[in-house]
Amino acid sequence: MIQLLTIIGARPQIIKAAAFSRAVATWNATHSPSEQICETILHTGQHYDDNMSEVFFRELGVPSPQIQLHTQLPEEMLSGVEQALQSAHYDGVVLYGDTNSTLAGAKAADKMHVPAFHVEAGLRSWNIQMPEEYNRIVADSISQLLFTPTDTATNNLKQEGKEHIIQTGDLMYDNALWFSDIAEQKSDVLHRLNIAEEPYVLATVHRQSNADSEWNMMTISVALERIAEKTKVVLPLHPRTRKEMDGDLLNRLISNPQIVLTEPVSFLDMIQLEKNATLVMTDSGGVQKEAFFFGKPCVILREETEWVEIVDCGAAVLAGADTERIVRAYELLINKPVPQASQWYGNGHAAEQMVKEIYSAIKH
């Protein structure tokens, strides 16, 4: 039996944990009692609202966290993970992505000499102003196994001279395949938002560089208003963006009959929205990839992306937060077919390979 501590905290990590925990359950169902993997989930509390956290546990079958912290402060997260690692024996720590919770998990594992395994290793935006870039570089430099989602991520790590790189593919692709039909059956979001019969663009904005900048939020909002003159726009608004946004601007979007502004939606609702949109506009890493998985063109509301393949193949365009560039990118992409090349993200069994590799690394 091996003991793993999985660190989560932010929305995308809970979704990633769904794929990993599913793979642990499959492993346990097919292995003897002595080879079982016991996974303990630690939730830092980085995201805590029902629609940013709880709903994903209910909907995606992620086991409830056995250890629950209640903090957004990096130093409190760090000491919380350290205490967890002191209070019980763990053979390894599983880290996802690039959030403050990832960083806390990486630093605590390093300090307590517990091997860390980094899922989504090797991604680089080459923009060190992004807090996520620092977090992922630290997690990659501390971790014993580096699970990369793409060729690009693997090459980035090779160029940095890293070892123990295992290209598994992307466990978010596993999730997109796994939940696609389930979303079709269970989600009523198209009817709830009254968009079942209409074409619409799906938009999300939450990156610090946009949400915390009044200017960027204004220029992006004006672009959404311009696009809303041609088609409906569905905007599930991240709580950070809502909090930071100028009240008048927010009211303008809310009162625009062509803009459907909602609270964040569940993952099944989100997949259903992505699958039925004509185009996606986002600064989210996960959402731009899901757009690609479901064959939708994407306007990326950033100046760079870690998922360069989708830009290189013409399925997505980097438009920053510039109104004119966003509208031009929309016009360029709206009727453009998206190449089918999901194999770039693996075979849909990335998480199963991770579990196998972690087990062998701990046992040998």
Active site residue 113: no
Residues numbered 304 to 323 that lie near ligand UDP (CB under 6 A) are: none
Residue tagged active-site, from 43, 118, 206, 349: 206
Least distance to ligand UDP from the beta carbon of 343, Å? Answer: 20
CA distance 182 to 162: 38
- The token duo for 97 is 């992505």
* Residues 350, 169 contacting (CB under 8 angstroms): yes
CB of 78 to ligand UDP, least distance (A): 20
Is the CB of 35 or the CB of 188 nearer to ligand UDP?
188
Rounded to a whole number of angstroms, the minimum distance from the CB of residue 270 to ligand UDP is: 4
CB closer to ligand UDP out of 37 and 148: 148
Q: Is 265 in the site for ligand UDP (CB under 6 A)?
A: yes
Using CB under 6 A, pick the residue from 17, 195, 287, 327 that binds ligand UDP.
Answer: 287
Tell me: does residue 286 bind ligand UDP (CB under 6 A): yes
- Binding of ligand UDP by 204 (CB under 6 A): yes
Stretch that binds ligand UDP, among 222-230, 239-247, 259-267, 299-307 (CB under 6 A): 259-267
Helix, strand, coil share of the chain (percent; to 5): 50, 15, 35
H or E segment to which residue 107 belongs:
helix 100-111
Listed as own residue / partner, the contacts of 257-261 with beta carbons closer than 8 Å and 24 or more positions apart are 258/228, 258/229, 258/231, 258/232, 258/233, 259/224, 259/225, 259/228, 259/232, 259/233, 259/235, 260/193, 260/194, 260/195, 260/200, 260/232, 260/233, 260/234, 260/235, 261/235, 261/237
Query: Out of 9, 65, 92, 236, which residue is the one contacting ligand UDP (CB under 6 A)?
Result: 236
Catalytic positions: 206
Interface with ligand UDP (CB under 6 A): 11-12, 15, 204, 206, 236, 264-265, 267, 270, 284-287, 290
